[in-house]
Structure 1
């Protein structure tokens, strides 16, 4: 659906992040604020797709590496495509998104210092792609998405 967007697997991304000798990417979370509030990847920044349309939304070099993710990869691919249109050249969409990251048992954070085991399941249907043990006990906040 987004053939021009480069993908990176969760394994490749984890390896990249563990290599302190490599320039680390800006990590953008393309989910809703409610989803981001439940958990996100360490040092991820929530990005508002509407604000992203502004030419000065990201004040970094156009060749800076950027990894974008969402629940499974669709919304983040759209964001990655928008960034490419703005002239950014080193954009990657995290294949499988935070669901795959969590399902593989990788670290999640509620804020950058507080680890959590939960991921916002987006909705009842998409949440089936997330292992049940990563669903918060009380999913009543889904209505507020």
Structure 2
């Protein structure tokens, strides 16, 4: 897992919260968490993964966006045309099979270990964005 920059996340959460809510309390209530927990996030302190998912929803981001931001990426908007919600589209097993088959077809001379490593990394990234269900 990449190193998480919680200060970066704190700045993005606070900036977006200020666009949507009149206070931390209002944002926290929309997320279904305490004001103190929301404060922890805006102060760059770590919270549970499930809490980040609640913050994602309250800010209109797809599940996994807080983690993406903390890892240096951008949030995914929950209402984007390609992504009406954060419901996974494929199971982990389906994604592994599809990615492996495509990689083997497009890169026939690649060592099997490299193909497997690529598939593992792809599945991890897609799980973080909510495109692939964890487990399965």
Instruction: Give me the TM-score of the superposition, normalised by structure 2.
Output: 0.23
Between 1 and 2, higher relative CO (CA 8 Å, sep ≥ 6) is seen in 1
Structure having the larger proportion of residues in strand: 1
Larger radius of gyration: 2
Instruction: Give me the TM-score of the superposition, normalised by structure 1.
Output: 0.22
